[in-house]
């Protein structure tokens, strides 16, 4: 039986021990819940891949408490330092070359000589990382290609039979995975949309490119099917189907009859929509609808990340 640990400062020492013993533990970050293991523990990392049913060619993100630790495992460049100054701790993941003395286990990096790093801003994640003084590698705490988790119950629903511990820190504040930026070549490239936008990044380091689908797949968040509920999902909402749920946005919601409607932001606020996005899809999935119809959101700022996830979830 999975144990859900409601986080308290006094449990911190025990939580650190559980990590040091090699457990794989779900924990909250500001984006989504992660499935974490100490980044130097090969067996624990193998277990993450098994538990998630994740292809071993899909590398993990390493989470750090501060830049001085990142500096040991990576080769920091000027752009990374500028971005770190503005966005860390926070929901930006940066791909860097790994350093010669990098301690992160190779199986977390799928044998690559690059490494995805970030400093999360969630107080529980940061407390653990500060106390541990070692990086934690963590993908999102969901089975590969299914809905991401934004609270402890989401993790329990899909992985509760496969893991021993979930640290419960309530609902995540952002609700979408971190933005991923590749800084390993002279041309910075956005690999995954998130709450930190292209425009925000460009204000700090100048023009960046966005890697579109037809490019070689670098981050499997760029694979076609991803972030999917267990039932089919379609973009659009004409002609409601039998027992169909609707993921809605804004106050101009179609009046056709759906089995259930979840509105991610009636007032049309994209940040609220991001926060409610995966939870609403989890709820629709739990409602046992046969399919989900969806409204797209305005394709600006964080809205790009929401629409991108909807498109990937709708791939069948
Ligand atoms: O917000 C987040 O980023 C969450 C929380 C837990 O931090 N984590 C997360 O991890 O979304 P995951 O594994 O679901 O997504 C990580 C993405 C994958 O698409 C992976 O392919 C990509 O990062 N990635 C990791 N290392 C990479 C590398 N060296 N080069 C290119 N892509 C990489
Ligand atoms: Mg994921």
291 shares a domain with 162? no
Residue 179 Cβ < 6 Å to ligand 1: no
Q: Is 196 in the same domain as 238?
A: no
| Residues 58, 23 share a domain | yes
pLDDT at 5: 98
By most ligand atoms within 8 Å of CB, the mutation choice from 146, 221, 274, 308 for ligand 1 is 221
We report the CATH number of the domain holding residue 246 as: 3.40.50.11030
Residue-wise pLDDT tens for the chain (316 aa)? Answer: 899 999 999 999 999 999 999 999 999 999 999 999 999 999 999 999 999 999 999 999 999 999 999 999 999 999 999 999 999 999 999 999 999 999 999 999 999 999 999 999 999 999 999 999 999 999 999 999 999 999 999 999 999 999 999 999 999 999 999 999 999 999 999 999 999 999 999 999 999 999 965 334 455 545 556 788 999 999 999 999 999 999 999 999 887 789 999 999 999 999 999 999 999 999 999 999 999 999 999 999 999 999 999 999 996 5
User: Is residue 189 located within the same domain as residue 293?
Assistant: no
Residues 79 and 22 reside in one and the same domain:
yes
Task: Output the pLDDT for position 266.
Answer: 97
Range of the domain at 298: 233-313
Instruction: Judge if 189 and 238 occupy the same domain.
Output: no
Quick check: 262 and 247 in contact, CB under 8 A? yes
One domain, residues 187 and 304: no
Same domain, 61 and 159: yes
Q: Is residue 67 part of a domain?
A: yes
Spatial distance between the Cα atoms of 205 and 78, rounded to a whole number of angstroms: 9
What is the β-pairing status of strands 114-118 and 165-168?
Answer: unpaired
Distances (CA, A) of 300 to 193, 254, 303: 11, 22, 5
In this structure, the answer to whether residues 252 and 123 fall within a common structural domain is: no
Contact between 146 and 51 (Cβ < 8 Å): no
Same domain flag for 199 and 69: yes
pLDDT at 227: 86
Instruction: Show the tokens assigned to 151.
Output: 């609270």
- Is ligand 1 within 6 A of the CB of residue 31? yes
Cα 149 to ligand 2 centroid, rounded to whole Å:
9
Ligand showing the shortest atom-to-Cα distance for residue 119: 1
Residue 80 lies in a domain: yes
* 222 occurs within a structural domain: no
Ligand 1: residue whose CA is nearest its atom 22: 219
Residue 134: predicted pLDDT: 97
Which pLDDT does position 255 carry in this prediction? 72
148 lines ligand 1 (CB under 6 A): no
273 shares its domain with 148: no
Cα–Cα distance, 312 to 307 (Å, whole number): 9
Spacing, Cα 140 to ligand 2 middle (Å):
4
Of ligand 1's listed atoms, the one at least distance from the Cα of 34 is 6
Query: Could you tell me which of 78, 257, 217, 54 has the C-alpha nearest to residue 144?
Result: 54
Number of domains in the chain: 2
Q: In ligand 1, which atom is closest to the CA atom of 58?
A: 21
Among the candidates 210, 241, 266, a domain finishes at: 210
């Amino acid at each position: 039986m999975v144990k859900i640990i409601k986080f308290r400062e006094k449990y911190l020492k025990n939580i650190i021990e559980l990590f040091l013993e090699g457990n794989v533990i779900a924990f909250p970050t500001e984006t989504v819940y992660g499935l974490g293991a100490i980044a130097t523990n090969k067996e624990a990392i193998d277990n993450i891949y098994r538990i998630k049913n994740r292809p071993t060619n899909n590398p993990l993100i390493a989470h750090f408490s501060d830049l001085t630790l990142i500096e040991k495992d990576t080769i920091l460049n000027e752009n990374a330092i500028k971005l770190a100054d503005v966005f860390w701790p926070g929901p930006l993941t940066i791909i860097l070359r790994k350093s010669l003395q990098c301690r992160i286990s190779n199986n977390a990096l799928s044998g690559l000589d690059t490494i995805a790093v970030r400093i999360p801003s969630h107080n529980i994640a940061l407390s653990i990382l500060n106390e541990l003084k070692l990086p934690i590698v963590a993908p999102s705490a969901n089975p590969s290609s299914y809905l991401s988790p934004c609270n402890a119950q989401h993790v329990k629903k899909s992985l509760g039979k496969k893991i021993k511990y979930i640290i419960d820190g309530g609902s995540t504040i952002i609700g979408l995975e971190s933005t991923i930026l590749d800084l390993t070549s002279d041309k910075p490239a956005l690999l995954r949309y998130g709450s930190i936008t292209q425009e925000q990044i460009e204000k700090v380091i100048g023009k960046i490119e966005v890697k579109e689908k037809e490019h070689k797949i670098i981050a499997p968040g760029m694979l076609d099917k991803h972030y999917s509920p267990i039932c089919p999902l379609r973009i659009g909402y004409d002609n409601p189907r039998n027992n169909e749920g609707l993921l809605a946005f804004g106050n101009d919601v179609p009046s056709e009859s759906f089995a259930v409607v979840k509105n991610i932001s009636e007032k049309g606020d994209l940040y609220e929509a991001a926060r409610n996005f995966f939870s609403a899809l989890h709820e629709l999935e739990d409602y046992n609808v046969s399919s989900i119809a969806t409204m797209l959101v305005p394709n600006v700022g964080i809205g790009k990340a929401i629409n991108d996830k909807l498109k990937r979830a709708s791939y069948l």
